[in-house]
Every structure is written in structure tokens, then in C-alpha cells.
Amino acid sequence: MTDEEPPAAEQLALIRATARKAKPRTWRGAQLAEGLPVARVLVDKGLLHLDQFFDYAVPAAMDADARPGVRVRVRFGARVVKGRREGGTLHDGFVVERRADSDYAGPLAPLAQVLSDEVVLTPSLLALCRQVADRYAGALADVVQLAVPPRMARAERDPSPEPLPAPAPPEPGSWARYATGPAYLQALARGDIPRAVWLALPGPHWPAELARAIAATLASGRGALAVLPDGRSVARADAALTELLGAGHHVMLTADAGPEERYRRWLAVSRGAVRAVVGTRAAMFAPVADLGLVALWDDGDSSHAEPHAPQPHARDVLLLRAAEERTAFLLGGLTSTVEGAQLVDSGWALPLAATRDEVRAAAPLIRTVGDADQARDAAARAARLPSLAWQVTRDALAIGPVLVQVPRRGYVPKLACDSCRTAARCAACAGPLELREQGGTPSCGWCGRPAADWHCQECGGFRLRAQVVGARRTAEELGRAFPRVPVRTSGRDTVLASVGAAPALVIATPGAEPVADGAGYAAALLLDGWALLNRPDLRAGEEALRRWAAAAALVRPAGEGGTVLVLAEPTLRPVQALVRWDPAGHAVRELAERAELRFPPVSRMASVSGPAGAVAELLALVRLPPGTDQLGPVPAPGGGERLLLRVPPGNGAALAVALKVGQVARAARGGGEPVSVRLDPTDIG
DNA sequence: AGCACGCCGACT
DNA sequence: GTCGGCGTGCTC
């Protein structure tokens, strides 16, 4: 996060350094480019662990085209047979530098082909990729593959539109509801680099607010980039931006545009023709010229984590960009992650929140039904829904649609206390307990300790259960109980963007809730309370609050009759935070707890997994930063084993470097079976 | 990751 | 003698 320290970088530079200079020689003595006859090339695939550049000779005919940043093809892996080069397969790559000489002592192979004269891997994009690779102990080529889209020749042939002049600074609009909102916009429009963690008010205004932040940055003559978790939210931001500025100032970078159109838009950004980008995860690398603002919406959404190696998270990539490219930063959401709270806590970013009066005016009424209430409720035992739920639904259906949030399939804890349903955790390290075989002894998913004498920390119970839910069926029952009301469903395969303002029951899984036209939903029933809260995940509380707030924000304010009913214990921290609509307080308390328990993100973690021998081998080569804890190893789900490494705050970069140095050293000794290294893994339980 | 080189044992 | 086992090391 903000703990990167310089000595680590020197260590990496050392392992990258190569031998002495040599005059470029080439294999067949072909005619070479006169001025700078050497091209330093990043080879796209192969040697993934070696992670280094290779020098090639530039034939005279390619002198003009082989500029830094263009795509080339090179022969790689050739062998010398009787003084002649033979074999070698063609690989794609990028020229990263033109030079007068090479560090490589041997003869240089010539570039095979310049694929295109389009400069795609610009120096600043390369620098960003390098930083991301280092941050995650990954290979540069892997990051470049994430950052530069595949070439589509047709899109390259077409010229990009002429850039538009900077727009006028926008009016504050609904930003006036936030104490420092108008000042934040003014700072952006002035060309400053304000950094904020923005807690958005519930309701439909956040896309327009995000659009105004982008417009204010454009007004300063700089570019802006906003990353959102899914196509629906990008579409909302896009619509708001188009309404504010018209078309032409921005592009949408999402997967559903198709590869060619997407590359066309990416090129418009890369060429400086378009200065603002709204997009999903991959847009985090968008090469916006003279970037003035990076914005991220709802950083707790898991789709901000890139699944491909080295699995960078959009929040971290944008934090790197904000620091390196000296830009403003806006982390927005209805709730805050602990990482967001940490940015405020460290003083790096300022909170951007509304007054309590504005919160009260915007939020719906939140009511709760706990287990004790349900036990007393005869109707609930029969129909599995408390009578308050029936009452709220009946009343709300008189004035508008009702949203029913049900748990997603497979979204249940592995093991929980049989009596109070609290997730079962390891007594030694608080990792999640798992049952590896039927009837066996549960053991910790982190440190592997068996938990034969487990008892519940909350209620003292000693029986464990694997959880099952029937909430979807409950929702269906609800539909049958109101036969004249239409039932719409949104989830998994069919996600609705919006529903009408007329009374209806809208059943949705978390994250797939449609926006209700008009005033918003009259009520929401959150049926997934205990399933969300009891997940064996560090983020269970944060995630529950995030999902509840997302649903509750679609409900009209309490003053207009909006009601939210959450089926969860009212004494639990996330439930209280929802009732009081105090996401900031919740995040601050979660952060304090993580610090106390030495959990991420206060401590940083890496997971090392692979065949047992290989993990031990890598570990022997790694010089871990002082104070590193080793948790495990435990058997990994896909075979082999997994080890967690935990370092104190401020040592994240050192841990990444140590692991990278170890990986390279191990590869140089003949490698063997590969070991996967991941920083800040998201699935550690 | 490929892929050739090399230094060992069993075969026509 | 020669074919081929895969252990080892290099790739601009």
C-alpha cells in the first residue's frame, strides 16, 4: 500500500544488472541501422521467471520503424550449429529502448519483423508495468500482457478523432451535500492533486458525482481514469458523463465492447485523442496522457482483483499510479474497505463524507430481526420468515417495488458453531477451520493445526455444522403469498439493470440488484444475513455491510417510506453499522481489529504454493525480512502445499523483493517444479 | 519453457 | 562401433 521503501528497489536493480558492453555483432553481418543499431526487447512469452530484456540487432530497413514501444517479432532460443544459427522460434515482443551498444557479449540476432509502427508500450506504461511486477513479485511480461491489449490491425489503420478542448469546470451539483465536496471539485479543476476516500450517500446520485469529479479534472487540462467493478456500473458512469459533457470527452473500456472496438478505444486513449476513461478492471492500466485523477468505485468488490498473474488489484495499481504520476485520487463507495480506512488513518487521503443530517435525509429506515425474535415468532417457524417481514412487504407493495436479497449459491461458511452459527476459527491463529474428510478432525486452513477440542468463542458450544441455506425457496414462498404481484429475478446468468416503479417483488443475489425507476424501492428484505456474516473470511463483516448497503441504497429515503429489513442479529457490528448508516465507523473498527490481530492489510501477507519439496527449496533461498511469520504449510486444495508469510507493516515491498529474488535464484539453478507466489492473496480465508 | 548437447549402458 | 537414456544449461 503506502509502505514501499527504496532499498528493496536497489536489490532488484542488482539482479537485473548484466555484464560489460560489447560492440554489436550480428550473425550474418547484415546491414544494420546506423545511429542506434541495438534494440532492447521485452520478449512476450517464454523465460517467465528470468524476467529480463534481450538485445537484438536492428536491420537498416527497420531503423525508422523499430521505435521504443512498438510490437516486434524476434527469433528466440536459436542454437549455433557449425558456426551457423539454426532454429529459434518466433516470439512477439516490444522494443523498450534503442541503443548504440549492447551489454550482451555474444553476437546479436536481428529483429525478425516490426509488426506495426504504433507505439503501444510507452515509457510511462512500461514504468507502471515494472512497478506492478515488482509490487507483486511477478514477471514484467505478465503485467505487460494485462496492460496492452492484443493488436487488431483494422483498429490501428483508422485514425482517432481530434481531441476536444477542455470543458468548463462543472457546478458542484449534489456534491454540495458533502462538507468538503465542492472544495474537492475546485481543487481538481485548479490542477491540484487532492486525495480522498469518499463515502457516497445512499441513492442514485453517485454516478453523476463521479462524472463531475472527472469533468473537473478535464477542466484543468488533465486526463482522468475511473475504474468500476462491472459493466452495469460503468454504463451508469458513462451515461452520467455523457449527460454532463456530451460524447467525445471519454471512452468506456469494458469487455462487452468486443476486442476490436475495445482496441480502437484504447488507441484513442493511447494517442491522446481522448482524455477520460471509465472502465472495468483492465482499464486500470489505460495509458491516459497527463493523468490528473484516478478514481475507483466500490473497491471491496472482488472483481477489482485481476485473476491473471501476478493478480494485481485495481486499488493497488491506482495507488501506484497516483504516487508515480502525481495524480489526484478518489476512492468511492457506499461503504469503506479496511484499506480505504487505512488510507485515511495514515493521513494519505482525507475523508470525503456527508453530514449526519444529509445521511438521515438520504437513508432508508433499517429494521432488524435477530434469532431470538424469530424463535419467539410462531409464524416464522412455520413459514421460515418472521411476521415482520410479511408486514413490511405487504405495506411496501402498496407503494412500490420490493427488493429481496437472497444469498448466492455456495456462499455459505465451511464450518460454523451448531448452536449460534458463528464461523469456526482456529484458537491459535484465528484462521478458518476446515474439514478435509468426512468424520475427520477439523483443522485450520492457515496453520494446519488440528482443532480436536474446538469450542465456540461466542456461546461455548462444541458441535460443528456445515451450513446449508434455503433462502431462495423462502423468496419463492414470498412470491406465492402475493399472487397478484409480478416477481422478477436477477442473478447469475440474467442480471437486470433496472425494474419499473410499479409494485413488484424483485429477487436478486448480492451484486445483481437492479435499480428501481422513479423513487426507488419501497422496501428491501435482506435474507442473507447469517450466510454473509458467518463466512470464514476476514472480510465477512465488511462484505456483509457492503452488500446490504448496496441493496439499501436503492431504497427510497425513510422520509418517503423506504424501509429495509435485515435478518441478522442486531448486536453484531455490521448490523449496527447498517442501522446507524455509519460505514466509516465500521471500517475504522475493523482496521483497529486487524492491526491488533496482525492481519492484512496492516500486516502484509504472501502465499507460496507448489509441490512440498519445491516450496521448501524456494524458502531456503529467500532472505525474509525481519519479523516475518510463517503460517503453515498446509496441504493446498489442488495438491501440493501452501505456506503463508506475514510481515509487519512497512515490509510489504521487502517481502515481494525477497520472494522475487528467491524465484529468480531458484530458476537459475535449474528450476524444477514451479512455485506460485502471490502477494496479498484474497482467498486465504 | 523448449531444445540441443553430453556422458553413460545395451544392442546389431 | 552406435543408438538413445534424460541430466544440464542456455536462450539476445
CATH number at residue A620: 3.30.70
- How far is the C-alpha of A556 from the C-alpha of A519, rounded, in Å? 6
- Identify the burial level of A305 via C-beta atoms within 10 angstroms of its C-beta, where 0-12 means exposed, 13-18 middle and 19 or more buried: middle
Dump pLDDT digits (tens) for A449-490: 888 888 887 788 887 766 544 556 777 788 889 999 999 999
Phi, psi values for residue A431, rounded to 5°: -70, 165
- Identify the burial level of A482 via C-beta atoms within 10 angstroms of its C-beta, where 0-12 means exposed, 13-18 middle and 19 or more buried: middle
pLDDT surpassing 80 at residue A316: yes
Q: What confidence category does residue A433 fall into, taking pLDDT thresholds of 50, 70 and 90?
A: confident
Cβ-Cβ contacts under 8 Å for A378 (sequence gap 6 or more): none
Is residue A432, in this structure, part of any structural domain at all? no
Dump pLDDT digits (tens) for A489-498: 998 788 999 9
Q: What is the pTM of this model?
A: 0.89
Q: Which nucleotides of B are covered by protein (CB under 7 A)?
A: 1-5
Q: What's the rounded mean pLDDT across residues A79-101? A: 81
Q: Do A323 and A265 share a structural domain? A: yes
**Which residue has cell 509488426?**
A115
- How far is the C-alpha of A220 from the C-alpha of A214, rounded, in Å? 10
Alpha helices in A305-461 (DSSP H): 314-324, 338-345, 356-362, 371-376, 378-383, 387-397
Chain centre distance of CA A456: 33
pLDDT of residue A533: 79
Q: Do A380 and A331 share a structural domain? A: no
Q: Do A41 and A73 share a structural domain? A: yes
Dump pLDDT digits (tens) for A562-589: 999 999 889 999 999 999 999 999 999 9
Whichever domain contains A103, its CATH number is: 3.40.1440.60
Is residue A346, in this structure, part of any structural domain at all? yes
Q: Do A115 and A45 share a structural domain? A: yes
Q: Do A350 and A375 share a structural domain? A: no
CA-to-C1' span, A669 to B7 (A): 21
pLDDT of residue A421: 64
**Number of neighbours of residue A150 by Cβ within 10 angstroms:** 11
In terms of pLDDT, which residue wins out, A23 or A526? A526
- How far is the C-alpha of A522 from the C-alpha of A556, rounded, in Å? 6
pLDDT surpassing 50 at residue A412: no
Phi, psi values for residue A189, rounded to 5°: -65, -30
Residue ranges of the binding site of A: 417, 420, 426, 429, 444, 447, 456, 459
Mean pLDDT of chain A: 88
Percentages of chain A per state (helix, strand, coil), in multiples of 5? 35, 20, 45
CA-to-C1' span, A106 to C2 (A): 34
Give Dmax over CA atoms of chain A in angstroms.
Answer: 92
CA-to-C1' span, A72 to C11 (A): 18
Dump pLDDT digits (tens) for A239-271: 999 999 999 999 999 999 999 999 999 999 999
Q: Are A328 and A294 in contact (CB under 8 A)?
A: yes
Residues at the strand B interface (Cβ < 7 Å): A 46-50, 77, 79, 81, 87, 89, 671, 674
Q: What percent of chain A has pLDDT over 90?
A: 66
Residue ranges of the binding site of A for Zn(2+): 417, 420, 426, 429, 444, 447, 456, 459
Nearest nucleotide, CA A109 to C1': C12
Strand C atom within 7 Å of A104 CB: yes
Q: What percent of chain A has pLDDT over 70?
A: 88
Dump pLDDT digits (tens) for A595-651: 999 999 999 999 999 888 888 888 988 999 999 999 989 888 777 889 999 999 999
Domain with A518 in it? 364-410+470-580
pLDDT surpassing 50 at residue A61: yes
Q: Do A203 and A66 share a structural domain? A: no
In terms of pLDDT, which residue wins out, A450 or A276? A276
Is residue A551, in this structure, part of any structural domain at all? yes
Among residues A421, A445, A472, the alpha carbon closest in space to that of A538 is found at: A445
pLDDT surpassing 80 at residue A560: yes
Q: Do A402 and A513 share a structural domain? A: yes
* A259-263, A281-285, A414-418: least confidently modelled range: A414-418
Is residue A65, in this structure, part of any structural domain at all? yes
Dump pLDDT digits (tens) for A364-399: 999 999 867 766 776 555 556 788 999 999 999 999
Q: Do A147 and A182 share a structural domain? A: no
pLDDT of residue A423: 74
Q: What's the rounded mean pLDDT across residues A77-101? A: 81
Q: What's the rounded mean pLDDT across residues A513-529? A: 93
C-alpha cell at A294: 484516478
Q: Do A370 and A332 share a structural domain? A: no
Q: Are A552 and A564 in contact (CB under 8 A)?
A: yes
- How far is the C-alpha of A513 from the C-alpha of A393, rounded, in Å? 17
CA-to-C1' span, A138 to B2 (A): 22
Q: Do A506 and A402 share a structural domain? A: yes
A160: left (phi over 0), alpha (psi -120 to 50) or beta: beta
What's the number of domains chain A is made of?
4
Q: Do A275 and A184 share a structural domain? A: yes
Nearest nucleotide, CA A111 to C1': C12
Q: Do A145 and A49 share a structural domain? A: yes
pLDDT of residue A572: 93
Whichever domain contains A526, its CATH number is: 3.40.50.300
Chain centre distance of CA A414: 24
